[in-house]
A and B are shown apart, each in its own frame.
Chain A
Amino acid sequence: MSLGRYIARRLLALVPTLVFVSILIFLLQQLLPGDPALALAGEERDPAAVAAIRAKYHLDRPMVVQYRIWLGKVLRGDFGESLRNRIPVSELLASKLPVTIELAFGSMLVALLLGLPAGVLSATRKGTPVDFLANLAALSGLSVPHFWLGIMLILLFAVRLGWLPASGYAPPWEDPLRNLTTLLLPSIVLGTGVAGVMMRHTRSAMMQTLEADYVRTARAKSVPERLVVLKHALRNALIPIITLGAIEFGRLLSGAVLTEQIFNIPGFGKLLVDGVFNRDYAVVQAVVLVSAALYVLLNLLADVLYFVANPRMRGSA
C-alpha cells in the first residue's frame, strides 16, 4: 500500500471518531451540575436576565436541537461566542493554541535533553550506580505531582533567588526574553514528567538493540563503542521513541491544565479549566473538540513516521 493511500484512509477514519467525540462532549457537558443561565446571571439572579441568557444561547431548546445548532456552526468554522466574556471562541482558540504549542515544544525539548541521554546511559551502564540514579530520577519525574514541583520551583527560583518570574507569559514578538524566562519553569515541570517516560522507553529499546546481532557484528569489527551506541543502536531504538514522542506531545497539548494554572500561562489548559468553572459551554466544547482532533492527528503523524521509518510496516498496513 502506498503512503498516500494509507494517509487518506486514516484521515477518512478520523471523521466518525470526531463525530463520536463531539457527541460525547455534548452529553458529558449536560452532566455538569448547575444551570448555566443561573451561573451566568450573577448574585442578583434577576429572572429577566436569566431568561434573556437562556434565549440568547438556546439553553431553552431541547438538547438535540442545541447539538444540531452547535454542530452546524462548527462545520462552518464558527465555534460561537464565549458565554462569559463575549469573545468569539475561534479567536480565543487562535490566541491560546500557539501558547500551548510553544509550551509543549519547550517541554519536549526538556524531555529529550533529559530523557534520551539518561536512557542511553542507563542502558549502556546497566546495573551500575549511574543506571540506578537514572532510574530513580525517571521514577521521580513520573511520580512527582506537577502541582507540587511547580510551586517548589516558583518558591526557589522566583521567590527565594529572584532569577525568574513566578508566573505570567509574554508573546515572543513582544518580549522574547520574558517569553523564554516565563516558559522555562513550566517547561521543566512538564518536561521532567515526560522525560521519565522517555528515559524508561529509551532504556528498554536500547537494551534490546544493544543485544541485536548486528550490534555484536559492529563490535566484532571493532567499531568504536561510541559509534556502536549512538549510530548503530540508538538509531534503531529511536523508532518506538518517535511514536511515544508524538503521543506525549499530543498529551501536552491537551493536558497541561494544572501547570498552566500554577504559572498563569494563558494556554489551552487554562482556557478549559476556566471554561468549566464558568459553565462556558461554547469554550469547553471547542477546546475539547480541538484537543481531541489534535491528539488524533498527532497519533496519525506518529503512525506515518513509523510507517516511513520502518519498511517492515509497509506490507501489513
Chain B
Amino acid sequence: MSWTRSFPALVALVMLAAAPASAQSVLRIGLNDDPDALDPTISRAYTGRLVFAALCDKLLEVTPDLKIVPQLATSYEWGPGQRSVVLKLRPGVKFHDGEPFNAEAVRFNIERHLNTPGSFRKSEIGEVKSVDVINDLTVRFNLSEPLVPLLAALTDRAGMMVSPKAAKELGDKFGTRPVCAGPYKFVERVAQGKIALERSADYWDKSHIHIDRVEFLPITDSTARLASLRSGDLHMIERVSPSDLAQIRSDAKLKVVGIPELGYQMIPLNLANGPKGKVLGADPRIRQAIDLAIDRETIVKTIFANEYVPGNQFVSPSSPYYNAKFPVQKRDVAKAKQLLREAGVPNLAFTLIVPPERDRQEAALVLQAMLAEAGITMTIQSQENVTMLQAGQRGDFEAYFTFWSGRPDPDGNIFTFTVCNGRQNDSHYCNPNVDTLLTKARQVPEPAERKKLYDQTTPVLMRDLPRLILWHRRVFTGLSIKVQGFTPYPDGIIRLQGLKLS
C-alpha cells in the first residue's frame, strides 16, 4: 500500500516547514471555555475575566492577599458616613483608541453599567446613585446607602473603563471590538477559536509588560488542554483539575502553582422555603447532627488528594476574615445520633440534589456513607445544574450541592445568602440580629472593625446552619517553565504585569 510509504514522508515535509520565524513574543493561554461578550457591562462568564485582565484596566486592583490598591484611580477617600467616596484618577492615561481617560469617562462608564438593559453590573454597584465630576481627574460616587464592598466591585468588571467614544459608536456590539485602557489592545476574535491581543504602545504602566502578543484559546476538553500545554502549543492553562496535577508535576518542562480560592463548595439546606423546608427546618439540632456526621478532612483527602482545603465558614481558613475560634470540627457520630434523638427524628431521611459534575457526585457518595453511619438516610438525586438552581429558588429541594465562586470582599460571600429575603438565600433563613451585624459590616471601612462584626455572626450561623460549607478548592495554574514572573491570585485570574517568556 503506497500510503504507508508516503505518510512518514508527508509528516517529515510538514515538520520541515513547521517553525514559522517570528521575532514577536506570543503568550498562549488555554481557557476552559469560550468567553461570552467582551463587554464589561454585559459579560458574565468567568473566562471572560481572564481576557479582561489583559484588555481592560480597572479603577482599583486587589493584591494576592486581597488588599485594595490603585490602578486607574490613584487613591480613594470615604466621605461622611461612607455615603460617598472620592476617587483621584491617574493622569495621562489613554484608551486604546487614543481617547483620554478622565472623570467624564468614569461617569460615562458607571452610568453605562447602571443603565444598559441586561447589565450584569447593576446588581454589583446599584447603590451608586450618581457620579459627580469634581474636576478632570477627580470623581465622587454618591451612594444611596453606605456600602464599603463597593471598592471591591471596582476591582473587577464594574471598575473596568471602556472608551466612551467607542462605546457610543458600537452600541450593543461593543463586545465584538472592545476598546479599553489595559496593557493589551484587541486584535481579533474567532469565536470558539481564539482571542488575540497585542501590546498597547500607550499603556501607562508599560515598563511591567514584557510580552508582545497574547492569545487566549478556549479548549473545553481538559485532556486536550493538558496535551496542548505539554506539547508547547500553550504556555499557560487556567483552573487545572486536581486529577491532572500529577502529570504536570512529573513533566520537567512544566510547573503548577496553586492558591486557595475565594469561594466554597456548599450545601444549602431548606429551612423555610415552602413545604419542603419541614424536614430540615424543623429543628437546628437536625442540621447540627448532619454537620457532625461529616468528616470534611476525609472528603478532601480521599477525593481531592488533599489538594483542597476543608472549610466551614464563608471564607477559607487562610483568609484574614476567617474566625479561628471556630475551626473545622472533628466528626462525632455519637453526638450526631444523640442530637437526632433529642430532636425526635432518630431516623432522619432527606434528599440531596447533585448536578452531574464529578467532584460533587463523588463527594455526595462519600457524604451518603458518612451520614448512614449516624443513622441518616440521604437520597442522592442527580439534576442538571441550571434546573437544580431553579429548584433552589422555588424551594423545590431539601438540600442541594452547589458552590460559590467567591468575591474579594467578604460581604460578597455571605450577605445575599444570609439576610432575610436575600437574593440568594434559598434556605429562607431569617435572623434579624445577623442581618443587623452583616448590614453594619457593609458600612465600616476598617477591616479590623469589620472582622469583629463578622466574628459575632459565626456562633449564630454555626448553631443555625442554613447551609453547610464543606471545602475550598485551590485554583491551580499550569505553566511552561518558559513563563517567568507569575504571581497567583486567589481569583484565579492571570495578571500579565511582570510576566516574561524566555
Contacts and interface: CB of A to CB of B under 8 A. Distances in A.
B423 A47 contact: yes
A177 interface: yes
B14 A184 contact: yes
B47 to A, nearest CB: 11
A19 to B, nearest CB: 29
Contact of B120 (A49, A175, A273): A49
A5 interface: no
Given A177-B18, A180-B14, A266 B390 contact: no
Contacts, number: 171
Contact of A113 (B3, B18, B118, B404): B3
A14 B220 CA distance: 36
A303 B494 CA distance: 55
Contacts of B117: 52, 56
A56 B423 CA distance: 22
Interface residues of A, number: 63
A262 B42 CA distance: 29
Contacts of A46: 120, 122-123, 423
Nearest to A40: B44
Contacts of B393: 45
Interface string B387-426: 1011001000000000011000000000000000001100
Contact of B36 (A84, A96, A154): A84
A42 B124 CA distance: 12
Contacts of B389: 38, 45
B231 A86 contact: no
Q: Which of A39, A164, A166, A181 has the most CB of B within 10 A?
A: A166
A267 to B, nearest CB: 8
A261 B218 CA distance: 10
A114 B190 contact: no
Interface in B1-22: 1-3, 11, 14-15, 17-18, 20
Contacts of A113: 3
A129 interface: no
Given A163-B11, A163-B14, A35 B221 contact: no
A266 B191 contact: yes
B386 A158 contact: no
26 contacts: A33-B384, A34-B384, A35-B386, A38-B389, A42-B44, A44-B120, A44-B424, A45-B389, A49-B118, A52-B118, A53-B118, A84-B37, A85-B175, A86-B42, A96-B192, A154-B227, A154-B231, A164-B14, A166-B233, A261-B221, A263-B224, A264-B218, A264-B220, A266-B192, A270-B192, A274-B192
Given A33-B386, A38-B389, A151-B224, A44 B233 contact: no
A207 interface: no
